[in-house]
A and B are shown apart, each in its own frame.
Chain A
Amino acid sequence: MPPRLQLLSRASAAVTTHSHQTLAPFLYPCLQQHRNASILSELSDNKGAYNKRIRVGRGPSSGYGKTSGRGHKGQKQHGKVPAGFNGGQTPDWIVNGVRGEKQHFTTEMSPINLNKIQYWINAGRLDPTQPITLKELASSRCIHGVARDGVKLLSRGSEELTTPINIIVSRASASAIAAVEKAGGTVTTRYYTDFAVKKIRAGQMDPIHSLQSRIIMAEDSVEGAEIAADALVEERKRFRFRLPDPTSRKDLEYYRDEGHRGYLSHLVREGHGPSLFFRTPGTGSRSGKKGASRGGAKKGGAAESNRLW
């Protein structure tokens, strides 16, 4: 009945709306009664801290009564059966074999995407004017801990990156490199061991410079060499441990590659590839000299300037 409902709603509305009393605020204490409830009555831990307590055999309503989650009869109700046991028949894992094996030499890296780095810069947690290494990323909690082989830069959210950054990581994907350089920054990839990662995070090792990373611009004289050597000795005193360089072929070839922005790419001759075994096509002495004498090519390729004949 519309009219009655309207009346009712109006009446209820009149009751519940706050009547604006034309009273001065200092009179409120005598009008209002309030109770002082402390926050103690509202305290609770996070949901994940609480676990459902299961007490078996305490009635049907608990869901664990009577058979207490064990089912009916059999060895499993009365005792136990070893895991994977097939009753004496050849177990499945022997018949079919287990899949794969443990790979002990995989590289484990902590991935970090460009959108998170930009978010951290916007929040003032990362300083874009300083080189960003795994130390800064870990201490600002951009990554939680560092995996044993360092950090890999990936390009999720690459369009969000607008700040030029100088970032030094273990590896970087091609699209991440492109995005950083498009924004005006630089990417350098360098080698880190698990020992190095630990010591860098503890502040006991330089995160950027190792022996082979240095491009020493010194005069080509005895004094120049001495100055360079003194500078290196001074550098060594700063940290307790020295940042290592790679020794395995795979790592060396990775960091000699300019496409990876590897820090050893300055050691590669102009026009040559990063491989330590394969010669780059077009750079050998025999190329383009099919008609020339073979005997001369063997010796001539070694040193053109001091050819004997």
Chain B
Amino acid sequence: MASKRAQLPANQLCNAFLSTPQPAQRRLIRGMATEAPLPNANATLAQAYADAHLTSTLAIPPVATPSSTAHTTPRAQNPFLSTASCTTHTFPTLEPATFVHYPSTHLLLPLRKDLLHRAVIYEGDATRQGTASTKWRSEVHGSNRKIRPQKGTGSARLGDKKSPMLKGGGVAFGPKPRDFSTKLPKKIYDLAWRTALSYRYKKGELILLDTEAELLGVHPHSAQRYLKDLLRQNRMGHADGRTLFVTLERREGLFSALEGEGMGRDARALDVLDVDVKDLLELGRVVVEKSALDFLLEEHEDDLGPQQRLGPWERVMEAQQGVFSSSSSSSSAGQEAAAAMLA
């Protein structure tokens, strides 16, 4: 995305006020290698893939099933799978550190607003306290005596004084404490979760950290000021849409700094067990530790088959990388090794 952004002429940057609020320069600093092509090593990788009869996209090998002899040839590889490349950064300097890869099933999902909506509503329903309570006419304190005769008085007929028609009476069908939680199939929720992460990634608003998001060497008394300055300098504070930090565990320095008065105006911090789809979509950007992102992706991949999940995919990636790094001279050796690995 950053590379595409830089190709736009300057006058179009001005016009794209509504769609892309951040000018090109910011994007270049931040997500430099998010969608940029990998260095020359990738060209040889791609060539080696083509030689080994693999597609240029990193595909998942078929599961070894005891099928009949008619189907001994390998199943056609899924042409829709590709790889999402991310840059990890250091903290708090936010310098690019390494490249990491994730499958397109996790970070390149198409935007499905209906799924996101369903997930956000499901979370909202589950969050409801449901403690609104009123007294109905049977619960209001009072007697059941008929307060005036049926006939004879010129006024309307009345029963007890607890009727909702009367002042001081009960509420007519008022709220009672109840459970507002709804159900959502786990596969849909997991898909919505990864759709939210994909949306953020595609917009360049997902920033990975290779280390813990902790304020090291900062005294607790100055942590708030330090963090405010840090966010302002990196254009991650209130003026730039606020930031959500997602960490694997509670990071004492960062979390207690953000619990200070007025710090919510600039950023929020949540650990992986507390973060929701709504939180991922709410603020201007999400800064997430790589370990936390792995945890979240592994928690929410129930809708994928066993071979499409992150663990098996990473193992396949490592195997392929090992093959291509070891085979130097002949490509045929690489082919045989790749075939052996994938068989």
Contact = CB atoms under 8 A, between A and B. Distances in A.
A234 to B, nearest CB: 9
Interface stretch (A55-63, A82-90, A107-115, A125-133): A125-133
Interface string A216-229: 00000000000000
Contacts of A34: 17, 21
Contacts of A209: 68, 70
Interface string A1-43: 0000000000000000010110011101100101110111011
Interface stretch (B39-47, B93-101, B218-226, B275-283): B275-283
A36 B242 CA distance: 9
Contacts of A43: 113, 116-117, 120
Contacts of B92: none
Contact residues of A: prevailing secondary structure: loop
Interface stretch (B8-16, B134-142, B145-153): B8-16
Nearest to A29: B23
A49 interface: yes
A84 B10 CA distance: 74
Interface string B199-240: 100000000000000000000000000000000000000001
B183 interface: no
Contact of A208 (B15, B70, B242): B70
A235 interface: yes
Contacts of A45: 114, 117-118, 121
Contact of A36 (B10, B15, B114, B241): B241
B240 A36 contact: yes
A113 to B, nearest CB: 22
A18 B117 contact: no
B284 interface: yes
Contacts of B114: 44-46, 49
A119 interface: no
Given A127-B75, A206-B68, A238-B68, A39 B14 contact: no
B interface, by DSSP: helix, strand, loop or mixed? helix
B167 interface: no
A38 B282 contact: yes
A286 B66 CA distance: 53
B65 interface: yes
A91 interface: no
A203 interface: yes
Contacts of B240: 36
Nearest to B71: A130
Contacts of A44: 113-114, 117
B283 A38 contact: yes
A127 B75 CA distance: 8
A124 interface: yes
Contacts of B284: 36, 38
Given A32-B17, A43-B120, A44-B117, 17 more contacts: A20-B11, A21-B14, A25-B23, A29-B23, A34-B17, A36-B284, A38-B281, A38-B283, A43-B116, A45-B117, A124-B76, A130-B73, A203-B65, A206-B70, A208-B68, A209-B70, A238-B67
23 contacts: A20-B14, A25-B10, A25-B13, A32-B17, A32-B21, A34-B17, A38-B281, A40-B120, A40-B278, A43-B113, A43-B117, A43-B120, A44-B113, A45-B117, A46-B114, A49-B114, A124-B79, A129-B76, A208-B68, A208-B70, A209-B68, A235-B69, A238-B68
The 10 lowest CB-CB distance pairs between A and B, nearest first, are A36-B241, A34-B21, A127-B76, A43-B117, A124-B79, A28-B23, A36-B284, A20-B11, A45-B114, A46-B114
